[in-house]
Amino acid sequence: MAIAINPSILSADFGRLAEEVQRISTADAVHADVMDNAFVPNLTFGPPVVERIVQASPIPVDAHLMINDADRHAPAYADLGCASVTFHLEASAAPIRTARELRRRGARASVAIRPATPVDGLLDILDEFDQILVMTVEPGFGGQAFLPSMMAKVRRLRTAIDAAGLSTALQVDGGISTETAGQAADAGATVLVAGSAVYGAEDPAAAIAELRTRAEQ
């Protein structure tokens, strides 16, 4: 099965973002981590910087919003050109409404769950989303260790997506490397986010190719 590799620019050089996105042009999408120092204990960037990333990127932009009050803030990221917008279930009072709003504005609707959040709340509303993100670390920082215990959630979602005949993408984010890509893909993930494994490598294009090979074998 074809696996998408979405490098996270959280591990890129923020002083040269336009060049950094060019270095990963062989990937499927650029993963842009938006953090607000409230939902997570870290702060990155917001709409003006994401808009510049969209303009500079040769590939689609996959925004990952780690911010509170997702219902209010997520739609703006669809308007500024992100191909997909992921908001956290824990930060949303009305996930169906927000997902429909994202689709109405032309983005793929995606919802994320933190490691301690069970999948149960998503199983009856899967068709509202184009992608589900299972976090494989506590969100907030790059370079953390992959949580293999999250693979049970990926397997449950894979079974539910297949049983419903849906084509929902299943993304994992956190600690993805050549060591862990295979188990994530085996559990049923179709999109792998990798920050340090790509931007920490001397040759990001080679790192992307290696992750793809490991995930698809």
Query: Interface with Zn ion by CB under 5 A: which residues?
Result: 33, 64, 173
Which of Zn ion, ligand DX5, none is residue 143 near (CB under 5 to 8 Å by kind)?
ligand DX5
Burial of 49 (0-12, 13-18, 19+ CB in 10 A): middle
Residues that bind ligand DX5 (CB under 6 A): 8, 10-11, 31, 33, 64, 137, 139-144, 173-176, 193-197
Report the alpha-carbon distance of residue 55 to residue 32 in Å, rounded. Answer: 13
Helices and strands in the chain: count of H runs, count of E runs: 9, 8
Report the alpha-carbon distance of residue 133 to residue 176 in Å, rounded. Answer: 13
Examine the residue annotation and report whether 127 is marked as an active-site residue of this protein.
Answer: no
Examine the residue annotation and report whether 173 is marked as an active-site residue of this protein.
Answer: yes
Shortest distance, position 82 Cβ to ligand DX5, whole Å: 15
Shortest distance, position 135 Cβ to ligand DX5, whole Å: 7
Spot the catalytic one: 13, 28, 173, 203.
Answer: 173
DSSP code of 40?
Answer: S
Which of Zn ion, ligand DX5, none is residue 11 near (CB under 5 to 8 Å by kind)?
ligand DX5
Shortest distance, position 217 Cβ to ligand DX5, whole Å: 20
Which of ligand DX5, Zn ion, none is residue 144 near (CB under 5 to 8 Å by kind)?
ligand DX5
Report the alpha-carbon distance of residue 101 to residue 197 in Å, rounded. Answer: 33
Nearer to Zn ion, 83 or 162 (CB): 83
CA 109 to chain centre: 11
Backbone angles phi, psi at 77, to 5 degrees: -75, -25
Positions marked catalytic: 33, 173
